[in-house]
Amino acid sequence: MINAKAVPRMWDIGVAAAAGPLAGSRLGRPRTVAPGATTWPLQVRRGGALDPAALDAELPRIASALDVGLYEVALNCAPGSRAELQLVVSGLLSTVQPYPGPGVYDPAAIPVGRHLDGTAAPWQLYHQAVGLTGGVIIGATGAGTSTMLTSIAVSAAHTGWLAVWAGDLTGGGEIPAVSRHAARFAHTLPQIDALLGEANRRIDQRQAACAATRQAMHHPSPDEPALLLVLPRIDQIASRDRSLALRAGRIAYEGRKAGVALLATAPDSSPLSFGGDVRLRDALCAVNVALLRTTSRSETPGLAPGLHPERLPQDLPGTGYLPGAGSAAPFRGWHLTDHTADRHLAAAPTLPTAA
């Protein structure tokens, strides 16, 4: 990890110099935001304008000048019209982040890890105006998608108002702890088809109930819990049968106000990974999307301008970006073993209508 005290001098020599990527720029007074994470306000030269796209193109040169990896530097445009950035340099990503336990959440969002600057990486679980929110975790094999999926499911199961169902074509190999403790679990295509069908019926029932009582949406409770359907490798499910993609799609874009949501993983964001159903993909990405390491930039077109999941290190699973979290800094997801997840899920409250 870079020595924070050396940053200003390295910046002046390699970045702010006449031939540097941000000639004439100036770093302000540093601020420690977390152990190993320091920020510097950055001012471009007087009268200069800042183009975020041009800055992103220069990021490799900036990282090289500071002698750090691309994932160790985040340059964020400040709000407003001032040409100011924040530089974050940290060794936090290379540090394992143990799962803190399912009690660390609020009713609306749960932390899924820590950003480069030490702040919590939030995953929106419920929104007062939108309802239950699902999402998708995108990443290559070994990037940590299943672990992140499991950590969200564990935290969700401990809310006391949310039931977890799961479908895994590997028989639980992707999410073993979740498969053992889910209120309902399916491991074949016919079973997953039935699970999707039942989730759609829940949507129908709750939409009818809301219409009868003139409520805008279903309000989850222990007696009438919300339902989170967890599907690792949705590409292997949706591509097998068009009807499966359609049923999953309805849950993703219509289930929120009925308290039914879909949480999935996929290797990339191409329509093929969602059974060719663009509406399914777009609905899953509408609120929550995590971009873990991918093998090429072309695998995440349009999802995160300025972010580069293909640059993330292979030896740090769980490292990624949350484009909707308001930070361009990467995060490191929780480290959660199957044994620990098992223990937490076994202690989760049992909901009477979960199954």
Digit-coded pLDDT (tens) for 137-153: 999 999 999 999 999 99
- Strands 260-266 and 135-138: what pairing? parallel
Rounded to whole angstroms, how far apart are CA atoms 297 and 293? 10
> What DSSP character marks residue 315?
T
pLDDT at 38 over 90: no
Rounded to whole angstroms, how far apart are CA atoms 87 and 85? 6
For residue 29, give the amino acid letter.
R
Q: What is the pLDDT of residues 308-355, one digit of tens each?
A: 788 888 888 999 999 877 666 789 999 999 999 999 999 999 987 666
For residue 47, the model assigns a pLDDT of: 56
pLDDT at 51 over 90: no
Taking Cα atoms as reference points, which of 104, 116, 130 lies closest to residue 259? 130
For residue 74, the model assigns a pLDDT of: 75
pTM comes to 0.87
Taking Cα atoms as reference points, which of 329, 272, 330, 322 lies closest to residue 298? 272
Across the chain, mean pLDDT equals: 87
Q: Kindly list the distances between the CA atom of residue 82 and the CA atoms of 8, 42, 55, 329, in Å, as whole numbers in the listed order.
A: 21, 11, 15, 20
Domain ranges of the chain: 4-90, 95-346
Q: Kindly list the distances between the CA atom of residue 271 and the CA atoms of 136, 278, 323, in Å, as whole numbers in the listed order.
A: 13, 6, 19
Q: Specify the fold of 4-90.
A: Threonyl-tRNA Synthetase; Chain A, domain 2 (3.30.980)
For residue 15, give the amino acid letter.
V
Taking Cα atoms as reference points, which of 314, 317, 305 lies closest to residue 77? 305
For residue 80, the model assigns a pLDDT of: 44
For residue 304, the model assigns a pLDDT of: 66
Supply the angle between the helices 189-213 and 242-254 in degrees, to the nearest 10: 30
Q: What is the pLDDT of residues 252-299, one digit of tens each?
A: 999 999 999 999 999 998 889 999 999 999 999 988 999 999 886 655
- For the four alpha carbons of 216, 221, 225 and 226, in that order, the dihedral sign comes to positive
Q: What is the pLDDT of residues 82-105, one digit of tens each?
A: 545 667 777 778 889 999 998 766
For residue 342, the model assigns a pLDDT of: 97
Strands (E), 93-189: 109-115, 120-124, 126-127, 131-132, 135-138, 162-167, 184-186
> 4-90 with 95-346: one CATH topology?
no
Rounded to whole angstroms, how far apart are CA atoms 87 and 74? 6
Cβ(150)–Cβ(325) below 8 Å: no
Which of 17-26, 105-114, 208-217 bottoms out in mean pLDDT, i.e. has the lowest?
105-114
> Could you identify the residue written with the tokens 């949501």?
261
Q: Yes or no: is domain 95-346 CATH 2.60.40.10?
A: no
Q: Model confidence at 232, in pLDDT bands (50, 70, 90)?
A: very high
- For the four alpha carbons of 9, 10, 13 and 15, in that order, the dihedral sign comes to negative
Higher-pLDDT residue of 197, 118: 197
pLDDT at 2 over 80: no
Cβ partners under 8 Å of residue 204, min gap 6: none
